[in-house]
C-alpha cells in the first residue's frame, strides 16, 4: 500500500469517528482566533478557553487591544503559560492589524506570517478555521507524533512533516485531516500509555499490528 492509499483510508475512517472536525479553541471571528491561537502556543486550549471570553469582552476589536495598558491585558491571561511574553505579542499583533491591514485579519499566508506571534502553524490554523482556506497543513505535537507513528513521515521537523503530508493528503482534506488527527491523538491514541483495542486505525498502524 502506498502512503497516498494509506492516508485516504485513514481519512475515510477518521471522518466516521469525527464527521465534523473543528478546532478546540473557542472564537467568533478571525480576530478572536488569531489572539487565541497566539495564546495557545505551549499552553493548553483549556486554559486559553477559560481566559478568552473575558479577554474578548473587554477588548472586542484589535483597536481596543492595541490601546490597552499591558498590565491590564496581562491580568486577563495571567493563568496561561508564558503570559508575560504573550501579552506583548497579542498587543503587537493587534497594533500591526491596525497599522498595516486596516484592523482586519489578513486571509493569506504571507501577511499572516508577518504578524507578531504568528508562524506557519498559526497561520494555517487561521486560514483553515476562520477563512476555510488551505495553503498548508497544521502541524502540532499530535500531528508530529501520529504522522510518525502511522509512518506517513520519518521526520520530527514540522516544516518537513508539512511538506510530506501535503504530497500525500488530498488538498480538499488539508484543513480537516490535522483536526481529526489532533482529536484522535487526544481521545484515543494519546501520548500516555494506552490500549490500541477498538482504534479505527488499528490495521493501518504498526503499533496496532503488534
Give the span between the Cα atoms of 162 and 144, in whole angstroms: 9
For 129, the grid coordinates are 478555521
For 7, the grid coordinates are 492516508
- In the residue annotation, 140 being an active-site residue is answered as yes
Given 74, 107, 111, 140, the catalytic residue: 140
Give the span between the Cα atoms of 88 and 2, in whole angstroms: 46
Q: What angle do CA 82, 65, 135 make, to 5 degrees?
A: 75
Who's near 53: CB < 8 A, 6+ residues apart?
Answer: 26
Given 121, 133, 157, 160, the catalytic residue: 121
- In the residue annotation, 121 being an active-site residue is answered as yes
For 104, the grid coordinates are 482586519
Give the span between the Cα atoms of 35 and 92, in whole angstroms: 11
Give the span between the Cα atoms of 70 and 189, in whole angstroms: 40
Give the span between the Cα atoms of 41 and 33, in whole angstroms: 13
Measured on CA atoms in the order 15, 197, 137, 87, is the torsion positive or negative? positive
- Rg over alpha carbons for the chain, rounded to the nearest Å, is 18
Query: Cα-flanking dihedrals φ and ψ of residue 27, to 5°?
Result: -160, 160
Residues annotated as part of the active site: 121, 140
Amino acid at each position: 500500500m502506498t502512503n497516498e492509499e494509506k492516508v485516504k483510508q485513514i481519512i475515510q475512517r477518521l471522518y466516521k469517528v469525527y464527521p465534523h472536525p473543528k478546532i478546540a479553541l473557542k472564537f467568533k471571528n478571525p480576530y478572536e482566533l488569531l489572539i487565541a491561537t497566539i495564546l495557545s502556543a505551549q499552553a493548553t486550549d483549556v486554559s486559553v478557553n477559560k481566559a478568552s471570553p473575558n479577554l474578548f469582552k473587554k477588548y472586542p476589536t484589535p483597536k481596543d487591544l492595541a490601546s490597552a495598558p499591558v498590565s491590564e491585558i496581562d491580568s486577563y491571561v495571567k493563568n496561561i503559560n508564558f503570559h508575560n511574553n504573550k501579552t506583548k505579542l497579542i498587543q503587537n499583533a493587534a497594533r500591526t492589524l491596525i497599522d498595516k491591514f486596516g484592523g482586519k485579519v489578513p486571509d493569506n499566508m504571507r501577511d499572516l506570517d508577518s504578524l507578531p506571534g504568528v508562524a506557519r502553524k498559526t497561520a494555517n490554523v487561521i486560514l483553515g478555521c476562520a477563512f476555510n482556506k488551505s495553503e498548508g497543513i497544521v502541524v502540532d505535537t499530535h500531528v508530529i507524533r501520529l504522522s510518525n507513528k502511522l509512518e506517513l513521515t520519518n521526520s520530527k521537523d514540522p516544516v518537513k512533516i508539512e511538506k510530506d503530508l501535503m504530497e500525500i493528503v488530498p488538498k480538499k482534506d488539508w484543513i480537516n485531516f490535522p483536526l481529526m488527527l489532533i482529536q484522535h491523538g487526544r481521545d484515543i491514541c494519546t501520548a500516555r500509555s494506552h490500549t490500541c483495542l477498538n482504534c479505527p486505525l488499528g490495521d493501518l498502524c504498526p503499533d496496532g499490528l503488534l
